[in-house]
Amino acid sequence: MHPQADTEQNFSAQIVPAIIPKAPWRISEVRPMPDYRIWVKFNDGTQGTVAMAGLIQSPSAGVFAVLRDESLFSQVALHYGAVTWPGELDIAPDAMYEAIRRDGEWQLS
């Protein structure tokens, strides 16, 4: 008798624990806001906003120019403690953390 594979259950979730970044400058929550802004909360409880309009609307926006589409901008999400968007766009949580701790907001231009 041969053992049968159980294709209905995902055993990998039991073998490999979820990766949860613990560094204080990693982000634990993110929400889109009007005017190309996002609200973030870090692992240590620090929270504030990131103002991205200056960057996104700039002639030198580069890959971030696609975020001018507000429906795409609103798809902001977390991936391993970093702010991301579809298309492999992300912004550095460590630089964001320092600016928000100092000023409550990070202005990107």
Number of domains comprising the chain: 1
Q: 37 lies in which domain range?
A: 25-107
Nearest CA-CA partner of 82 in 73, 94, 74, 70: 94
Q: Which residue type sits at 106? A: W
DSSP 36-80: TEEEEEETTS-EEEEE-HHHHTSTT-GGGGGGGSHHHHTT-EEET
Structure tokens belonging to residue 81: 């403690």
In this predicted structure, what is the pLDDT of residue 9?
57
Look up the pTM and report it.
Answer: 0.78
Are the C-beta atoms of residues 2 and 18 closer than 8 Å to each other?
no
Strands 77-79 and 27-33: unpaired
Is residue 18 situated within a structural domain?
no
Q: For position 42, what pLDDT does the model report? A: 94
Give domain status of residue 14, yes or no. Answer: no
Q: For 12-60, what is each residue's pLDDT tens digit?
A: 456 666 666 677 788 999 999 999 999 999 999 999 999 999 999 999 9
Structural domain includes residue 47:
yes
pLDDT of residue 68 exceeding 80: yes
How much is the mean pLDDT over the chain?
Answer: 86
- Residues constituting the chain: 109
Q: Is residue 1 part of a domain?
A: no
pLDDT at 24: 75
CATH number of the domain where residue 68 is located? 3.30.2020.10
Q: Can you tell me the distance from the alpha carbon of 67 to that of 85, in angstroms, rounded to the nearest whole number?
A: 9
| Residue 12 located in a structural domain | no
